[in-house]
Amino acid sequence: MVWRSILLLSMINLLLLFSSPPLRAEAASTSTVRPEFARKGALTCMKCHDDAAITQILLTPHAVKGDADTPFGQHDCESCHGASPEHVHSRPPEGALRDPPTVRFSGPHPSSLAERNAVCLGCHENGQAIHWTGSKHANNEVACTACHTVHIQKDPVLVRDRQATVCFSCHTEQRAQSFKPSHHPVREGKVICSDCHNPHGTGQDMMLVKDRINDTCYKCHAEKRGPFLFEHAPVREDCTLCHNPHGSTKPALLTLGVPWLCQECHDGGTHAGNPYNASKIFGNTLVAPAPQAMARGCLNCHLQIHGSNNPSAPFFTR
Amino acid sequence: MKSHGQILMTMLGSLSLFPAAAAADGSDDNGALRPRNTVELGIGYQSEKSAAFGRYTGQAEPGPLAVSNFTSIGGSAWDSGQTDTWEVMGTDLGSTSRRVSATMGQQGLWNLSVLFDESPFHQSDTGSVIFNHVGSNVLGLPSGVLTPSQTNAPTTNTATGTASQANGYTLQRFLTRQDFGTDRKTESLDGRFKPSEDWTFNTSLSHEHKEGLQERSLAIGGGRSGDSVFFPQPVDYDTDNFEATANYKLDNVWMTFGYTFSKFTDNNTSLLVPSPFTVTSSATTGAAVSVNGARVPVGTLNQIALPPSNMAHNINLGLTAAITPTTRLNVDFGYGLQVQDDPLLPYASSSHPLLPVLASQLAPLPRTTTNGEVETYHGQVRFSAEPLPKLDLSASYSYDGTDDRTPKSLFKSVDEAEVALWNLDNVPYSFSKQTAKLDAGYRFSTGTRLAATANFDDTTRSIAEVLNQQTATGQFKVTQTIPFGTASVSYQHGVRRGSTDQPGAFFLAMTGTEPTSTQDNAPSFRRFYEADRTRDGYKLGFEVSPADTLSITLAGRLTNDNYPQSPLGLRRSDSWATDADIGYSPVQGLTIHAFYTFEEVATDSNALAGAGFSPDPNAPVPGTGTIASVAYAYGYHFVDRVHTAGLGATWDVIQETLKIGVDYAVSADFSDVKSKGSGLFNIGNSTLTNALGYAASSSVPTAMTFSNSVKLFCDYTFLPGLTLRLTYRYAQQETNDPLLDTGALPNVSAPGVTASYPYLFAGETNPNYNVHLAVASLIYKF
């Protein structure tokens, strides 16, 4: 029943897609006026916009006149800010503001999100960004310039030890998790968010760079890839069933301490079902401490918990 | 939509949280056409040794340290018409987390880059092991351990009166201090070539070598009471990766073709660990044949299979078509092949004293190599469109499959841990997941945006207690423009349902027989990831920027997971988090950023323990019956609470001359494990009757970690291009976790009991530190 509903909704959606006129294309096709760009390009702009925060773009890959694919290989500043003859030529009275440029990425009256992102996507909707439209960030109305700072020589989000700060400005829970005792070295700059996630969207919910969660983990943890002779099913299915990659209060990024994490799946008549409480950790006059509740817990014995290639270790003990 | 305030927050946020990073290019990005070469050289001093403090930075040892960073960026002037570009960068060269990279090329045509990166991982520095020949794949024992009688004589447990199988306490004097940790070194070569407007090719070749020691432990004989001994597992891995991608653009169609190859090589296939104990095997329920009462003397080699070498190939194809300027069709396809064909180890090491006994019962290995092979599939089709202004829609369908094609064989194995024979099949595990998803969002003219998501997925497993599982999730989110910012609220409801639980399915697949009551989970127990679940999630957020100099973000999240069909197992999980961020720049040159986050995760579980259940474990069905107290019923309540706060500020006291700053971060987490017992467990209402309640006597003491770090820095530019940077950092961590602090031998309260426990843990202590770190460096920009 649910499937039928989804299929029906999908068909309605498709009909909508193809029956509606594309707004931007329509606007573009009716425009017959040739844009009027400043004759001297960036030099015109820099007559006024000469402070360092703006002119530093001249040190960036966007400002390479010899590369016809870059903004400065075309119409300099106006490649991104749009042809703005009114802005260039207006002579407002003292104290008044000029007409704004056509596309404004910041300030009190920025252009619409669609207009701003369209500028970037005009060149960058390829390679790693082919999934942008319809991606989680796009659907949540994230502007390209919310993460990217193009007027700086080194865009912080592209610098390893600064990228996480950009991501953490929205993903505050992940920031807090990065301070937990067990964490990937993200704050230390050795692992960065984009090692695992493609913020421009992928075919995965979590915008992972690989097709599956486990394949993403195997990028650095290839020794866990196997396939092993004896597989541990949840390990093969999804690493995040047991690990929180953003940080944990438990060793090895585990979501719960061992032995209790193991007991979420293993219970019953064997030692797996015993209650591992205080008496099992500290012992008392009649009860010995249990090895399952000390040090590495269950892993004291089941050391190859990710899978074993030893024909004598069906229970991951060798 | 991101507000200006959030952009300000991002910029302010970069002030803090990265105390270890000291890149030469610093945080000063102002100054057009400024020098593009920077060199930083300096010295520092660290007060204390700590693996936890220097876990990833390499700053784990006390004493002097060197600071060495450089950056050189060059190329054609922006208006020269040329496109030459190059960049050389080195960071943390004075430590074991160093990184050097160089890139050169012609922008828009080609570039080539090389990289060397070293990443340390200091696992611990307070452990000990009994073994020598550490680092090799055959560990040894100190000569004194091997007594003439070849026994570390079993003694009698004075508390229980039972014979113990080893005496760890007589072995303590042989323990020697051992640091654990690994070091990765990666070299890579990347290239990009764009021969035409339509095609771009990227390729990457890398080699990684990882070596060191991992802390592991194993059980030696003795049945379930297990004699545990910690040992250093050698790590000597090489991983080679090759990746090639071609991007093609044709009018309104973009395509990518990718191939990835990964080859992992473990230079040690196995590890032999000699037993420091004399052990006596005990009865092992479920084993086809056991050899109870046999004695395994000191020095018996236990054979560990180390991670096998393996290879993986992956092909990816992606296509995006712009059907209209606002309509996209995405098609993705991925195929992966993972293979592993390491030779299988013999059933037992040749020194195993029971081999003659077992030889007649051991069959030859069913095959000599693993012949492991897993295929993975990924496919997705997605339509995205804006059919109306301010309306966006997307619909997608995806399929992900994992097919384990490793042959299934019967192994008659010797489980050295329990000195018993098992007849067991290996069980290749395959599964697939289909997902259909619809997203819609509409922004009203009032500044309200309404977004809705419907998600449905279906998981199928080849062997499991729950073979088929469906999850349906719906989510609504409302975002409203408010004065100076935005507010948002969202609600999510998800229902997961599975096929009828088949207790013991895995055991049956391995052994060919139904599990007995002592071999499988208790009746009505459900594994958390297979269990039926209802999830409700709520989110609330505010982002306001009442002035260009002030931004405030408040956020909260609450998630409730219920497992209504799980009388036993994980019953409920509730988590919530709240966050506040403030960025403030009161005057030119002064920026302040502060944040606080609190997170709590609470879960409840029920369980049964005991040797057998009444009635038969598979008889009671969820919702009926009562299990008598022949099984001990009990419950856990887990709570994790984490507070994290930070404050960062920088102040340009004298512009371009003197800058000072402070970063402070504090984190405190508390973990509780509360336990309660009962006489009866009522399946019908999932309650423990006659429950004893959560008692302090049985609950594990709160585990706590408190850490705080403060960093002060000052940049003084005393000559053009020459800056003196002074940095002082203090970092503290206090951990009180009983599981991390067990010592080499169990801490038993009763005198006399300690004399006979057969454990030799690493004896680590909680990773506490109080580290002072002072650094002075000169930065020269030219």
> Of B492, B478, B475, B490, which is closest to residue B448 (Cα–Cα)?
B478
Over range A268-274, report the average pLDDT.
75
Nearest CA in chain A to B34: A56
Count of Cβ atoms closer than 10 Å to residue B139 Cβ: 23
What is the share, in percent, of chain B residues with pLDDT greater than 70? 78
Which of chain A's residues have a Cβ under 8 Å away from the Cβ of B18? 161-162, 165, 187, 189
- What are the Cα distances from residue A1, in Å, to A4, B83, B500? 5, 59, 19
| B110-129 and B176-193 strand pairing | antiparallel
Alpha-carbon torsion (A296, A302, A304, A305), positive or negative: negative
Does residue B351 surpass a pLDDT of 80? no
Q: How confident is the model at residue A221 (pLDDT cuts 50, 70, 90)?
A: very high
Q: pLDDT tens digits for B734-765?
A: 998 877 766 555 544 333 344 445 677 777 88
Q: Where are the domains of chain A?
A: 127-209, 216-300
What is the share, in percent, of chain B residues with pLDDT greater than 90? 59
B527 vs A258, A264, A314: nearest CB: A264
The Cα of B378 is separated from the nearest Cα of chain A by a number of Å equal to 7
Q: Does the complex come out with an ipTM higher than 0.95?
A: no
Per the model's pLDDT, the better-predicted residue between A309 and A4 turns out to be A309
B609 vs A61, A264, A274: nearest CB: A274
Over range B683-710, report the average pLDDT.
72
* B111 contacts B103 by C-beta, under 8 angstroms: yes
> Of A2, A44, A184, A4, which is closest to residue B470 (Cα–Cα)?
A2
Q: Any idea which of A38-52, B64-78, B183-197, B358-372 has the lowest mean pLDDT?
A: B358-372
* A249 contacts B671? CB cut-off 8 A: yes
pTM for the whole structure: 0.89
Question: For position B148, what pLDDT does the model report?
Answer: 40
By the CB < 8 Å criterion, does B288 face chain A?
Answer: no
Count of Cβ atoms closer than 10 Å to residue A93 Cβ: 5
Q: How confident is the model at residue B628 (pLDDT cuts 50, 70, 90)?
A: very low
* B520 contacts A268? CB cut-off 8 A: yes
Q: How confident is the model at residue A26 (pLDDT cuts 50, 70, 90)?
A: very low
Question: For position B698, what pLDDT does the model report?
Answer: 72
The Cα of B345 is separated from the nearest Cα of chain A by a number of Å equal to 6
Nearest CA in chain A to B705: A181
Which residues have C-beta within 8 Å of that of residue A210, sequence separation ≥ 6? A204, A216, A218, A219, B314
Which residues have C-beta within 8 Å of that of residue B170, sequence separation ≥ 6? B152, B153
Over range B643-668, report the average pLDDT.
96
Per the model's pLDDT, the better-predicted residue between B533 and B741 turns out to be B533
Q: Any idea which of A265-269, B367-371, B515-519, B641-645 has the lowest mean pLDDT?
A: B515-519
Q: How confident is the model at residue A148 (pLDDT cuts 50, 70, 90)?
A: very high
Over range A10-14, report the average pLDDT.
47
Nearest CA in chain B to A50: B32
The residue type of B466 is: V
Q: How confident is the model at residue B229 (pLDDT cuts 50, 70, 90)?
A: confident
* A275 contacts B742? CB cut-off 8 A: no
Over range A65-74, report the average pLDDT.
92
Question: For position A4, what pLDDT does the model report?
Answer: 52
Question: For position B22, what pLDDT does the model report?
Answer: 37
Q: pLDDT tens digits for A281-313?
A: 765 555 567 778 878 888 988 999 999 999 988
- Give the CA-trace dihedral at A46, A48, A52, A58, to 10 degrees: -10
CB-defined contacts A:B, below 8 A: 572
Give B637's strand partners.
B604, B674
Which of chain B's residues have a Cβ under 8 Å away from the Cβ of A74? none
Q: pLDDT tens digits for B416-463?
A: 655 667 788 999 999 999 999 999 999 998 889 999 999 999 999 999
Nearest CA in chain B to A234: B529
Question: For position B206, what pLDDT does the model report?
Answer: 97
* A81 contacts A72 by C-beta, under 8 angstroms: no
Interface of B with A in 129-168 (CB under 8 A): 157, 159-160
Mean pLDDT of chain A: 85
Structure tokens at B24: 């030469």
A130 vs B218, B254, B394: nearest CB: B254
Q: pLDDT tens digits for B29-81?
A: 433 345 589 999 999 999 999 999 999 999 999 999 999 999 999 888 898 99
Whole-number Å distance between alpha carbons of A177 and B496: 27
Whole-number Å distance between alpha carbons of B306 and B267: 10
Interface of A with B in 28-67 (CB under 8 A): 28, 51-56, 58-59, 61, 63-67
Which of chain B's residues have a Cβ under 8 Å away from the Cβ of A70? 107-108
